[in-house]
Every structure is written in C-alpha cells, then in structure tokens.
Structure 1
C-alpha cells in the first residue's frame, strides 16, 4: 500500500480518533496531520509493519499524550462541535452528548485515551497496551478507574439536578 492510498483509506478515521480523545476538531486535525507526517517520514517501515494502521494510531495517541504533558495544552476538551466538520458515525451521536463530554473532561488524558481505544475503537487490552507501551493489567486498571470516575460524575450530576 502506498502512502497516498493509506491516507485516502484511513485519514478521516484518524481525525475521528483525534477528535474523540481530544474533544476538539482543530486539535484532532492537527493530531492526524502530525501522525501522518511522522508516518510519511518512515513510510517503508510503517508499510512493512504487521499492521500499518496500528502503527499510525500509536503515533497519534502518543502525540496526544505528549501534548497533554506540555504546559501549553492544559485546557480540557471543549467539544465545540461544528456540524460541517463532523463525520456521520453511529458512535458520534452518543459521544457528542454534552454530559458525556463534561464527564470525559474530568478524566486524565490517559484514562480518556484508554476508554476511547476500548469503546470507540473496540480494541482489546493487549492492543491498547501495545499502543500505549504499558501492561494489559494497567489497561484494565485504568479502564476501571475511569469508569468509576464517570459513574461518580453521573451520580453527582443526578443529585445536583434533583436539587434544582
């Protein structure tokens, strides 16, 4: 597969992944572009990998996690959606809910990435562990903590709504 073919086939999927982890369409485009630039520089190595898409996804996820560590990237995802820039997808209808975005914004970047890879990308523990360079048990623990935080936020939201 040539690089141009890969971009045509998987480019929008990378943007959706970037959007789902960051909550910001412009940041998602930047993440996809950075991942594709890095993949292009090493295209022979990427193309010859067992799963080139896995390789590029890992670049994107690592770049997102690196961005969150930088001082200039301290704000939470905004999920400021522009209908012209969203790609129709069955999961988008669920993920776009304002309550969900607010709850996801309370999670750490790593927790958000693990949940996105697990439930949006439908990846197993071992694949997520490979992408993040951690152990599968760490993936499970992070998933458990993140889901507990979301449940707590949901319960808190219900209590606050009841007080109004």
Structure 2
C-alpha cells in the first residue's frame, strides 16, 4: 500500500475503532477478547483495504468482517473465569456502583446467549439496525432475526429480571 492508502486506513481506524470495540465488547463479554477481535478485524480490513474502500460503507464492511470472525471463532474452548451467582459484597441501592452492577448483570446475561442470538441483540438493540439490515449482515432471513431476537429477549428477561431491561426515566 502507498502512503495515501496508509493515511486513509489510519483515519478509518481512528474514526471506527471505538464503535468496533464497543460492539466487540458486547459480543465477547470480555474487554481483552474484544480487543483481540477488533485487532483481528482491522488486520483483515488492512489486507483488503482497496476492496473495503470501494464498498458503499467501509464501516459496514468492517463490521461484517468482525461479525464473521466472532461467529466462526471456535478456536478456544476455555472462556476465562466463570462468574459466580452472587458478588461477595452486594451493592446498596444508593451506591454509585449500582449502575455498574446492572451493566455487569446485563453483560453476564448477554454472555449466556448463544453467539447468533447475542449477535442479533447487539445489532438490533445496541447498534440500532433494522431487521432487514441485521438479516443482511448475518446472512439469514428476516424471520430468523425476529425469532432469534424474541428468544434472546425472553432469555434475558428470565435470566436478568425484567426490571434490568427497562430503561430508567
């Protein structure tokens, strides 16, 4: 690659790294694994930079690559430490860490979902993509996206409690 392409790639990374990492963090449930996923994605994007630049949306192309890497990542069987059911010191309602506790509980609940359902939840409700866009990214039908989302939300509500999924006013 030439200097101009390197500069364009660097600008792309600066612009999209944060969003890619947030999505990867939600998909993997672990900061370090998310960083590895983003790094692997950006390496693939760099190798195919000319094709990525020619696409309608370089960011969507990179997100598709990241999703494919995530969905096919069966290399590691061990997923790190297994969280226990209860924390040693539960947070108090007036505690500033309560918001963290809720996010942590939601993150744990997301990790209990199968990879495909987790990907649907992240794309539909975090990335705010439509059913059609999600189906296109996951290469499946719109009905599959709707059914996977319904199953995932039902499991999240059962695991994390309905109050956890409600938006605070």
* TM-score bin (small chain): 0.7 to 0.9
Offset from partner CA, 1:26-69 (integer Å, 9 cap, x none)? 111111111111111111111111111111001111111111x3
Instruction: Assess if the C-alpha contact under 8 Å between 1:24 and 1:78 holds in 2.
Output: no
Match of 1:103 among 98, 103, 109: 109
Q: Secondary structure at the match of 2:72?
A: helix
2:138 match: 132
CA shift for structure 1 position 75: 2.8
Scaled by the length of structure 2, the TM-score of the pair is 0.75
Which segments of 5 or more consecutive residues in structure 2 lack a partner in the other structure? 84-98, 163-169
Which segments of 5 or more consecutive residues in structure 1 lack a partner in the other structure? 80-92, 157-164
Scaled by the length of structure 1, the TM-score of the pair is 0.77
CA shift for structure 1 position 73: 3.6
Q: How far, CA to CA, are the matches of 2:82 and 2:105 in structure 1?
A: 12
Quote the RMSD (CA, aligned, Å): 2.7
CA shift for structure 1 position 78: 6.7
The equivalences for 1:5-154 within 5 A come to 5-67=11-73, 69-70=74-75, 72-75=76-79, 97-154=103-160
CA shift for structure 1 position 154: 3.6
Q: How far, CA to CA, are the matches of 1:50 and 1:149 in structure 2?
A: 35
Whose Rg is larger? 2
Structure 1 stretches (4+) deviating beyond 2 angstroms?
73-79, 93-96
